[in-house]
């Protein structure tokens, strides 16, 4: 009996700890590995970040979402990391090196001049939906309800909303935060964690 009590004295706390850890992972955050160069220079290939499931999504937020059912070329659960450019109900267009959301020029200080111009191109939602044969929302002029328009920061190589359309809210895992362990520069961390606070300024 004494041996049983001793075993339970450490087994129960361990079990409780595991349950709490699983609940935190399920409902609060998830560790994610960035796959590919599409978010450079602000996030690097194989960089590990946290997806906070409870964070509000803003214009300029970097998010993780499941691309299965979003990108036609993906047929299984696959995490994509991209930046939210426009929210449900927004208009968005790219013109001469600037992105306009609801007619307002957005802050693109987080990427190079090349990525703002040649890397981004000139387009409206209607033009890119037709040019790239979106399977859904062809000819859209606004971001539909419950959807988001996303781009990679390394736009000349990024596979993003320009090519396959909008991301449904229920596909989004969480908002990306760069942790204290990251070797990223202070500016790159700011560009991921806090740039959304100044989305319409700083060009």
Give yes or no: 38 in active site.
yes
- Across 88-108, average pLDDT: 95
Which entry of 38, 61, 129, 161 is annotated as an active-site residue? 38
Task: Give the tokens for residue 75.
Answer: 């047929």
Which entry of 9, 53, 55, 82 is annotated as an active-site residue? 82
Domain total of the chain: 1
Each residue of 104-145: pLDDT tens digit?
999 999 999 999 999 999 999 999 999 999 988 888 899 999
- Across 149-172, average pLDDT: 97
Give yes or no: 95 in active site.
no
Residue 203 placed within a domain: no
Residue 93 placed within a domain: yes
Task: Give the tokens for residue 123.
Answer: 């387009």
Of residues 24 and 151, the one with the higher pLDDT is 151
Per the CB < 8 A criterion, the answer to whether 66 and 79 are in contact is: yes
Q: pLDDT category, 179, cuts 50, 70, 90? A: confident
| Placement of tokens 């396959």 in the chain | 164
Per the CB < 8 A criterion, the answer to whether 104 and 36 are in contact is: no
Q: For residue 178, what is the domain's CATH number? A: 2.10.109.10
Domain that holds residue 109: 2-198
CA distance 28 to 186: 25
Reference 91, options 116, 126, 62; nearest CA is 126
Residue 60 placed within a domain: yes
């Amino acid at each position: 009996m004494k041996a049983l009590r001793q075993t339970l004295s450490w087994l129960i706390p361990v079990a409780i700890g595991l349950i709490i850890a699983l609940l935190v992972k399920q409902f609060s955050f998830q560790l994610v590995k960035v796959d590919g160069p599409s978010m450079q220079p602000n996030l690097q290939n194989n960089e590990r970040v946290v997806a906070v499931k409870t964070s509000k999504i803003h214009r300029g937020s970097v998010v993780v979402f499941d691309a299965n059912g979003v990108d036609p070329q993906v047929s299984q659960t696959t995490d994509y990391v991209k930046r939210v450019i426009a929210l449900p109900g927004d208009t968005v267009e790219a013109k001469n090196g600037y992105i306009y959301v609801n007619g307002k020029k957005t802050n693109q200080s987080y990427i190079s001049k090349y990525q703002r111009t040649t890397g981004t191109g000139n387009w409206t939602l209607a033009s890119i939906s037709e040019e790239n044969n979106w399977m859904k929302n062809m000819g859209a002029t606004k971001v539909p309800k419950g959807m988001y328009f996303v781009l990679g920061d390394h736009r000349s190589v990024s596979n993003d909303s320009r090519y396959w359309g909008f991301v449904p809210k229920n596909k989004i895992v969480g908002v990306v935060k760069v942790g204290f362990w990251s070797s990223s520069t202070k500016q790159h961390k700011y560009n991921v964690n806090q740039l959304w606070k100044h989305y319409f300024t700083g060009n």
